[in-house]
Structure 1
Amino acid sequence: MQTHFSRRSFLSTALAASTALAVQAKDTAPLIAYVGTFTSPLQNMKATQVDLPPGNGEGIHLFEVNRSTGAMTPFDVYKTGTS
């Protein structure tokens, strides 16, 4: 017994399967948030600028985001020099 698949049915089946796999992979992949911080006070400030409190960050903080609750868990810091 021989079955015949048209190109259209083959492509639509392949598209549906790949879309399902992509959605599944997307939901299980870790979600990472990047938060940048200032690492030094501003230099040559104008009278109208405010820098309070002066920057004391360490660089770029990386957090893993829980997709269900939105809770962020810190897991790394990319320390940079002064901003």
Structure 2
Amino acid sequence: MICGHCSKEQPFSVDKPCSGCSMALTKSRTAHWEGGKGCRDRVKMSRNDPQKFSGQSKTTSKKAQEKAKPKEKKNKLRHSSN
């Protein structure tokens, strides 16, 4: 793998930093928002994180509400007696 900081090629290891510049080769994973650079999956976010629930109280348009509703199938039988 090539280091993004010093461009040194080396074998990849998750737990070892770069041998040239001592920087981590992978980004650390968190369950916090961190200004949009961290976790964005609301299922994985902490329940104490205010960004998890932001925007839930917004009103939605009628068109968006209808799209979210499951549609009923219109199965009409051609040869039914009804």
Q: Same fold (TM over 0.5)?
A: no
Higher relative strand content: 1
Q: If the TM-score is normalised by the length of the shorter chain, which range does it land in?
A: under 0.3
Return the TM-score normalized by structure 2.
0.23
Higher relative helix content: 1
